[in-house]
Amino acid sequence: MQELLVLLLAPDVWSSTIRLATPIAYASLAAMICERSGVTNIALEGMLLTSAFCATIGSYFTGSALVGVAAGVAGSVLLGAIFAWLVLALAGEQIVIGAAINVAVLGLFGYLSFVLFQTPGVTPTVNGLDPIAVTGFADIPWIGPVLFRHTPTVLLLPVAVLFCYLLVFRTPLGLRIRVAGEAPVVDEAAGVNVIRTRFVALLIASAVVGFGGVNLSLETLKFYQDSMVAGRGFIALAANIFGGWTALGGALASLLFGFSQALMFRIQIFRIPQEFIFMLPYALTLVVLVLGAARRSAAPAALGKAFRRQA
């Protein structure tokens, strides 16, 4: 019991929790924006992978991590525009198209990595973003190492949460996004172009999730690997549901998953079978989805439903 208490209070556990939760949190913010607009974005997994690959390629060929960040976000936005065109302009089935995109980008980047580096599914190490110690706060006992010694995307996560909250709940565009997800015919009756509103929401969400992919490739690993996303896009969807389709709720739920992953690397001292340790984050995802099913009534009413403008 004492060993467990020491483990739970260790600052490195909580620092790892925040670090591991970061890509999930960015993806959950994107999921919140998409679903508030009425679009179920299963392609978040592919967007994380796309931004990770593009960030790595950008950094590799220019030697600049900042160029890599821009390339990662741009790649995610481009994929988001393709997804938006398929599900909005062509009124395609959102779940099917999202799943197809996930499979397609995984194969594409595996092939491109082979063409460019002769190593399928993996790239060489690139220049990345190093941790930053926030002056005046990083030396505070326990709190400093936990909150104020992280890489840039981790430190910027609270800003992203605030931005997404203000965008969706405190701006005219956010109101149109929420109405598009609840009652798109009301938006249309008020003269709002629902398709355009959802398209803009998807592009913004794609940019947000792009920072999650940048975190994985330029901060966590500093190279690209096919298995690096490891279901985080799907976990983010669960975090968004558990967080009640809110920015802060999704981010806090992401910390829960990050905590489970942080424990995964340390709980072996209790002689728990390795198979159970590695399944912990995914088992937690299933539990959250089951609990979230009971809250399904809180989901946007028009979620997942294609909208066609009336003649």
In a domain, 157, yes or no: no
Which amino acid appears at position 10 of this protein? A
* 281-286 contacts at long range (C-beta below 8 A, 24 or more positions apart): 281/235, 281/257, 282/231, 282/235, 284/256, 284/257, 284/260, 285/231, 285/234, 285/235, 285/238, 285/257
Of 309, 199, 187, 285, nearest to 234 (Cα)?
Answer: 285
- The answer, as to whether pTM is greater than 0.85, is yes
**Domain-located, residue 112:** yes
CATH code, domain with 243 = 1.10.3470
Residue 158 lies in a domain: no
- Domain region containing 99: 2-125+167-298
| Tally of domains within the chain | 1
Is 132 part of any domain? Answer: no
Does the residue 135 lie in any domain? no
Q: Domain for residue 279, yes or no? A: yes
* Residue 197 resides in a domain: yes
How does pLDDT run along the chain (311 residues), one tens digit per residue?
566 666 677 888 899 999 999 999 999 999 999 999 999 999 999 999 999 999 999 999 999 999 999 999 999 999 999 999 999 999 999 999 999 999 999 999 999 999 999 999 999 999 999 999 998 899 999 999 999 999 999 999 999 999 999 999 999 999 999 999 999 999 888 889 999 999 999 999 999 999 999 999 999 999 999 999 989 999 999 899 988 899 999 999 999 888 888 877 676 656 666 666 667 777 777 777 676 655 555 789 899 888 877 65
Q: What secondary structure letter does DSSP report for 223?
A: S
